[in-house]
Amino acid sequence: MLREVQHGRHVGDDGLEELPNDPGRTTKSADAVLERQNAELRARNDLLEEEIRQLRKTLAPRLLFPLSWHLNRGETSVLACLYASPDGFRSTAMLGTCAETFSADSDGAKVVSARIFNLRNKLRPFGIRIITRHGEGYVLPPDSQAIIEAALRKENA
């Protein structure tokens, strides 16, 4: 049952747009409704994709670590995420999000754990440590943050 007409559109009791009963107009009206809804969904999707891009940039900025560290892309993402954290801490889930490791095919926590293992081995010779907070995540201590900061300044000078 039609409750009211809003802006030239018929709105039912449930608040959803209803189509007129005229079969000749129904198809055109349905197409118009679907087109409008599709355009609204596309606009919303574009907005959400931009928000995600900005959040990723904030959480894990693209940093150019020294080539001598021999980091792959996944390790670089995890280290950038840790380094960008104000207190040096990130949860395992957040590191997985930064590194885009979570998928239906893999166990994100195991992937993050493997990347941390590799990072520790590669960064130990430079005096950089990553500490585990069991059941929570990982910490890049201040002394390690300072070493990375100095290396980034030198690398980007």
- pLDDT per residue over 24-69, tens digit each? 556 777 788 888 888 888 888 888 888 776 776 666 677 889 999 9
pLDDT at 7: 54
Main-chain dihedrals φ then ψ at residue 53, nearest 5 degrees = -60, -45
The answer to whether the pTM exceeds 0.75 is no
Give every CB contact of residue 47 below 8 A, 6+ residues apart in sequence.
none
* 3-class state of residue 74 by DSSP: helix
Range(s) for CATH 1.10.10.10 in the chain?
62-155
Main-chain dihedrals φ then ψ at residue 134, nearest 5 degrees = -55, 130
CATH code of the domain occupying 62-155 = 1.10.10.10
